[in-house]
Amino acid sequence: MAQPAANLGSPIVFARAVQAAREAGMDAVSLRELCGDESWPQRRRIWGGIMRAVRVDGFPIRVAQRYSVGEIGPLGMLAQVAPDLYSAFVRLNDHQRVLTGAEIGRIRDDEERGTTFLEHMAVEGNDLGARCRREMMLASALKFARDVSGVWIRPRGVYFSHAAPRDPREHEAFFDSEVHFDYGCDGLEFDRDTLAIPIPGADAGLSQLLIAHLRAIAGDPPAAAETLEGRVRHAICRRLGNQTLAMDALAQELGMSPRTLRRRLLEHRTSYHHILDGVRRELADELLRDADHKLSEVAFLLGFSDASAFHRAYVRWTGATPASRRDVL
């Protein structure tokens, strides 16, 4: 069954794209016709379809301007409490690789020039959809830097591997820097002094907590999640403390209807809630071992609505309370 465009790939990103498309004049019927599955070619087709419909070269920039660092959950929180912008980008890059098993970017320092190049590698292809995604993601990275620092960050240069759009004025205004097209790769170049700007929300203690959480939820790399149960477990781990844990949303992420997911798990003599319970149970003791983790923080990181809900679940799992269990771990 085809899924609405707003639910494909990253639901939040597509929700932003759909809203921006409506404001640019795209009608609801055309938006509904842009359907597909979870594959990258389908998502790329949707981005291209929106671009052709709205006929606004600056559309990717408009989508990025809606970006909010709070949308990326613990990973975004980890970046927000980094000591400076350089550390924030390193954290985003390193922990995104841990969570996805894929390298989405590289950070290259040029000591002679005194610059750092943030190369984006996640989007391949040169069609309109791929170009739109690359532009949106680089613009989102810059908006992130501006938001977490509270400073109007200007890169030394902006580079895209594809040809220039007919009208690059929105790109130039947003990046506030020279924008290069037909370059060998895609990325942002910053002066080292720029990336040394401190982040007002820097917090070493919270950083350690979030790093431990991200390591805990990473689990096995996606390549190891070959069975359906493994895929569900990995999807749950990515969503803990970040996105909704509702089975409907997770089923869409896996490219199937909730009914199909329920039936296929039943064929394997398990269920979504059984797998969710197991993931939470396994991670609970890991988090409880660190006395710096308040019970309310552990509850949040495991995706519970509050500490009391976590308390009831933990007693059901172990027959002991989280507080008493912590004393013996």
CATH number at residue 232: 1.10.10.60
According to DSSP, the β-strands at 115-120 and 179-180 are: unpaired
Name the token pair of 266: 């039943």
CA-to-CA dists, residue 157 to 142, 180, 192, 326, angstroms: 12, 7, 13, 51
**Strand pairing partners for 117?**
108, 189
Judge if pTM exceeds 0.85: no
The reply to whether 213 falls in a domain is no
Q: How far apart are CA 43 and CA 40, in angstroms?
A: 5
Place of tokens 């040029």: 110
Q: Examine the domain organization and report whether 122 and 188 are in the same domain.
A: yes
Answer whether 117's CB lies under 8 Å from 189's CB: yes
**Strand pairing partners for 108?**
117
Residue percentage of the chain with pLDDT more than 70: 81
The reply to whether 23 falls in a domain is yes
Q: Examine the domain organization and report whether 92 and 148 are in the same domain.
A: yes
DSSP code at position 310: H
Nearest to 302 by CA among 275, 284, 324: 284
Nearest to 141 by CA among 200, 185, 93: 93
Identify which of 13-22, 43-52, 148-157, 290-299 has the greatest average pLDDT: 148-157
Answer whether 199's CB lies under 8 Å from 81's CB: yes
Q: Examine the domain organization and report whether 41 and 124 are in the same domain.
A: no
What pLDDT does residue 70 have? 66
The reply to whether 210 falls in a domain is no
Q: Examine the domain organization and report whether 83 and 189 are in the same domain.
A: yes
Name the token pair of 33: 């016709």
Name the token pair of 100: 């996805």
Name the token pair of 322: 């989280």
The reply to whether 274 falls in a domain is yes
**pLDDT of 8 higher than 60:** no
Q: Give the residue from 179, 195, 211 where a domain finishes.
A: 195
Q: Examine the domain organization and report whether 49 and 111 are in the same domain.
A: no
The reply to whether 108 falls in a domain is yes
Strand order through the sheet with 115-120 = 105-110, 115-120, 186-191, 157-159, 179-180
Least confident of 158-172, 216-230, 276-290: 216-230
The reply to whether 128 falls in a domain is yes
Q: How far apart are CA 142 and CA 153, in angstroms?
A: 7
pLDDT band at 219 (very low <50, low <70, confident <90, very high): low
Print the domain residue range for 309.
219-328
Q: Examine the domain organization and report whether 254 and 167 are in the same domain.
A: no
Could you give the number of structural domains in the chain? 3
Answer whether 17's CB lies under 8 Å from 140's CB: no
The reply to whether 203 falls in a domain is no
Instruction: State the average pLDDT for the chain.
Output: 80
Q: How far apart are CA 142 and CA 92, in angstroms?
A: 13
Residue percentage of the chain with pLDDT more than 90: 26
